[in-house]
Amino acid sequence: MRLSMIARDGTRAAPAVRGHPRTRYSESVPSDAGALLPYLHAVVARRHLTPEESLAAMRVILCGDATAAQIAAFLTALHMKGETASELAGFARAMREAALPVPFETPPGEVLLDTCGTGATDSTPSTSRPPWLSW
């Protein structure tokens, strides 16, 4: 599983390639197909990950160093064990580190409003849009 990212210059960056000049991934992340296995084994054993371990596990996933099967097994075991706040904090920290800022300018006196929805259909309401904006 690979993630696509938008590069700083607005073009589509290479999909989560370690060391790619337009990504924030560092060379310190191991290039090893088994890099997720220690974290997978820990959650299968129902051991909570430390924030540092969950940060490292998410870095492995985001860098593309884990197979789809490993990611599925890791997430399933994590859910069965029950996620902790510190694990989620580590995952979020890794995702924030990997995220690239989207440059924008708001004209003076203007307000920026994010109107991105969740893909709601006629039969399923959008959970990200307030009811007063529904149409």
d(CA 90, CA 11): 28
Q: Identify any residues that bridge with 41 across adjacent strands, giving them in sequence order.
A: none
- At residue 45, does pLDDT exceed 70? yes
- For range 9-37, the mean pLDDT: 54
d(CA 12, CA 116): 20
Q: What is the mean pLDDT of the chain?
A: 76
pLDDT of residue 6: 46
CATH no., domain 1-107: 1.20.970.10
Is the full-model pTM beyond 0.85? no
Count of C-beta atoms within a 10 Å radius of residue 50: 14
All residues at 6 or more sequence positions from 49 whose CB lies less than 8 Å from its CB, including other chains: 39, 42, 43, 57, 84, 86, 87, 90
